[in-house]
């Protein structure tokens, strides 16, 4: 999968962890492939108890560039309680600030709570992963200094308000992702997503912003290096 991505022009990618075991796998993968970097995190819908001490140790490995995936998911029925999600988020935001790492944030139905949590942690920097909201929400998080990360969702016909955000997002504040194996572009619905398919999103972002894919690649690279500083 890494080779296929590199062949398609995707020169760097981040494998995100959603619990301790998967975070360890991401770090191992990052040690095996120079194109891969790791995120260490605990997803808001993860049922297992977070082991913050172990996450803290792992997050200090040299290939770890971000605390993620973390966040809030208030739309999923039957997941961890809102209170528990918020407690964990504050602890992980503190960890990120302490280790001077950015955060990659998952948000479903929790924009106000996330905005308030970000405001509680000065010096926190990061990205709203799989950004799926309208311009008002985009501005809220841009004002906090956050980046917006666009995925295959922008190719869905019903998502015109999201394409508006793609057009208006400042050039130095957007990122691209696949969220693979999820988040496929419209033309690949029904098959698992892969890092190589980032080009589906990149082509549309370039078209919407009126630049070439090569120009977009340069911007994306400098934005990624500005946020994920350990990738330098």
Q: Contact positions toward Zn ion, by CB under 5 A?
A: 106
Smallest distance, Zn ion to C-beta of residue 130, A: 5
Closer to Zn ion by Cβ: residue 16 or 204 = 16
Chain centroid offset of residue 156 CA: 19
Of 16, 61, 58, 19, the C-alpha closest to 36 is: 16
Query: Which of 22/106 has CB closer to Zn ion?
Result: 106
Closest distance of CB 138 from Zn ion, Å: 17
Instruction: Using CB positions, name the residue nearest to Zn ion.
Output: 106
User: Min. distance of Cβ 68 from Zn ion in angstroms?
Assistant: 9
- For Zn ion, the closer CB: 27 or 39: 39
Nearest approach, Cβ of residue 129 and Zn ion (Å) = 6
Residue 96: both structure tokens together = 């990120």
56/108 with CB nearer Zn ion = 108
Q: Pairing relation of β-strands 174-176 and 147-150?
A: parallel
| Contact present, 55 and 41 (Cβ < 8 Å) | yes
The CA distance from 122 to 132, in Å, is 25
Q: How far is CA 150 from CA 6, 77, 185, in A?
A: 20, 25, 11
């Amino acid at each position: 999968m890494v080779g296929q991505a590199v062949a398609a022009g995707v020169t760097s990618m981040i494998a995100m962890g959603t619990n301790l075991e998967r975070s360890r796998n991401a770090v191992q993968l990052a040690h095996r492939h120079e194109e891969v970097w790791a995120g260490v995190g605990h997803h808001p819908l993860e049922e297992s108890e977070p082991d913050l001490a172990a996450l803290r140790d792992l997050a200090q490995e040299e290939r770890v560039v971000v605390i993620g995936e973390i966040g809030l998911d208030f739309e999923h029925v039957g997941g961890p309680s809102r209170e528990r999600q918020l407690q964990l988020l504050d602890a992980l935001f503190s960890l990120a600030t302490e280790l001077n790492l950015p955060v990659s944030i998952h948000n479903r139905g929790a924009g106000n709570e996330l905005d308030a949590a970000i405001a509680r942690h000065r010096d926190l920097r990061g990205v709203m992963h799989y950004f799926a909201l309208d311009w008002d929400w985009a501005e809220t998080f841009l004002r906090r200094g956050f980046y917006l990360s666009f995925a295959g969702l922008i190719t869905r016909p019903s998502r015109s308000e999201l394409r508006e955000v793609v057009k208006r997002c400042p050039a130095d504040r957007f990122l691209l992702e696949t969220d693979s194996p999820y988040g496929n572009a419209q033309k690949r619905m029904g098959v698992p997503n892969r890092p190589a398919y980032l080009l589906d999103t990149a082509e549309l972002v370039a078209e919407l912003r009126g630049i070439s894919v090569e120009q977009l690649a340069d911007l994306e690279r400098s934005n990624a290096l500005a946020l994920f500083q350990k990738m330098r």
